[in-house]
Amino acid sequence: MECQEKGRGNLVDKITKSIVESAMIVLNVVAMVIAAVSAIAFLNAIVSFAFGLLGHEYVTFEWLMGKAFVPLAFVMGVPWDECHVAGNVLGIKVRIYFPRLF
């Protein structure tokens, strides 16, 4: 005979529910990371193929984003010899966090 009020449960039920909810959040984050990395790889492949037809095999999406954000990295205070790496990171982060811009 079960006469528990609605919304009340034992400790094991609450722990189980919180573990399941946490696992779903972790799976969603992993899926988003996989999707972001695959989107960057897909864009790299498309840009590399297109520029490869023109004879510029070294050009990728990451390379283009790196070149576009070098001035911004310099204005932010990054030393000039490290601006290309920082511009690359900035370009990828902008692409991941603001996907509607592209």
pLDDT tens, per residue, the chain with 102 residues: 455 555 667 888 889 999 999 999 999 999 988 887 888 889 889 989 999 999 888 888 878 888 888 998 999 998 999 988 898 888 877 776 776 655
In contact, 66 and 76? CB cutoff 8 Å: no
Would you give the DSSP letter of residue 3? -
pTM, two decimal places? 0.59
Angle between helices 11-53 and 61-68 (to 10 degrees): 90
Residue with tokens 């899926």: 31
